[in-house]
């Protein structure tokens, strides 16, 4: 499963100009949560219980693409362009990450697809923060 934190996707450019190469170039497009998501606070303290719950979710659903360390240096993660959570998540608020978990995009399906609750999403974020802190 790719259900965490927002990877990048390739998109072909729609236009070419006389100065552009004949073949269309692929560009990386960042996945940005709406402004209102930025201010949504995580209702769960990142204590040992929450982090352990998040780790269980991550291990069951996210590790195959994001890897044990969250860096997406695994074959499935490379194939689907899973996000390197260690690099991508520190600059995002918990609210932004939660919005992405609830919304899904491309290969990263929304967490409800897997029966992960809204609450589970918050615990997942708390766990992913520990991966980023470990670097």
- Note the pLDDT of residue 21: 41
Look at residue 3 in the predicted model and tell me its pLDDT. Answer: 47
Q: Looking at the DSSP assignment, which residues form a beta bridge with residue 108?
A: 105
Torsion on CA atoms 40, 91, 89, 28, rounded to nearest 10? 110
Average pLDDT over residues 6-15: 38
- In this prediction the pTM is 0.78
Mean pLDDT of the 113-127 span:
97
Residue 131 token pair: 């991966």
Homologous superfamily in CATH for domain 44-134: Cytochrome c-like domain (1.10.760.10)
The Cα 103–Cα 72 span in angstroms is 20
**Amino acid 19: pLDDT:** 41
Contact 103, 2 (CB under 8 A): no
Per-residue pLDDT tens over the stretch 73-109? 888 766 778 889 999 999 999 999 999 999 999 888 9
For the chain, the residue count is 135
The token pair at 121 is 């999403």
* Res 116: pLDDT: 97
Write down the pLDDT at residue 24: 38
Q: H or E element: which one contains 26?
A: strand 26-29
CB atoms within 10 A of CB 103: 16
* Domain layout of the chain by residue ranges: 44-134
61: Cβ–Cβ under 8 A, 6 or more apart, which residues?
A: 1, 3, 111, 114, 116
Query: At a CB cut-off of 8 Å and minimum separation 6, what does 97 contact?
Result: 4, 5, 6, 33, 89, 125, 128
């Amino acid at each position: 499963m790719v259900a965490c934190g927002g990877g990048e996707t390739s998109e072909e450019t729609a236009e070419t100009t006389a100065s552009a190469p004949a073949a269309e170039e692929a560009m990386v497009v960042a996945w940005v949560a709406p402004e209102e998501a930025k201010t949504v606070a995580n209702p769960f303290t990142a204590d040992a219980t929450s982090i352990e719950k998040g780790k269980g979710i991550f291990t069951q659903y996210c590790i195959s693409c994001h890897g044990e360390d969250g860096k997406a240096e695994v074959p499935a993660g490379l194939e689907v362009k899973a996000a390197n959570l260690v690099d991508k998540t520190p600059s995002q608020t918990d609210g932004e990450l939660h919005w992405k978990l609830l919304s899904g995009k491309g290969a990263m399906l929304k967490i409800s697809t897997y029966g992960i609750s809204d609450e589970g999403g918050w615990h997942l974020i708390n766990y992913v923060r520990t991966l980023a802190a470990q670097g």
